[in-house]
Amino acid sequence: MNTTSWEREIGPFDFLLCSDFWPHGEVSRKYGVLRHADPFAGASDRAVFVIDKIGKIVFSRACPLDQLPDLEETLDVLRRS
């Protein structure tokens, strides 16, 4: 699900969302979740990062490809931020 459809599904939000669509892998690489050496090389881990207004990472969670990040945990962090 891309960022736009995710926001339509459970939004709207009062904050910006980022999706690593183009250029492919740029954001994943910068945050250390781009896979390099397995059958899924070139894909990113399922990862969530919450970044505050000054650019500090206040929450991060990476999950195996077969597991989704906990939506309620992420939403709780966003509500507190």
pLDDT in tens, the chain (81 residues): 455 666 777 777 777 777 776 667 888 889 988 888 778 787 788 889 999 889 999 999 998 878 888 889 988 998 887
Domain containing residue 67: CATH number = 3.40.30.10
Q: CA-based diameter of the chain, in Å?
A: 37
Cα dihedral value 17, 21, 25, 26, nearest 10: -60
Domain with 52 in it: 3-80
Total of domains in the chain: 1
Q: What is the enclosing helix (H) or strand (E) of 41?
A: none
Question: pTM higher than 0.95, yes or no?
Answer: no
Query: Within 13 Å of residue 77, how many CA atoms lie on the same side as its CB?
Result: 15
The values of phi and psi at residue 51, to 5°, are: -120, 130
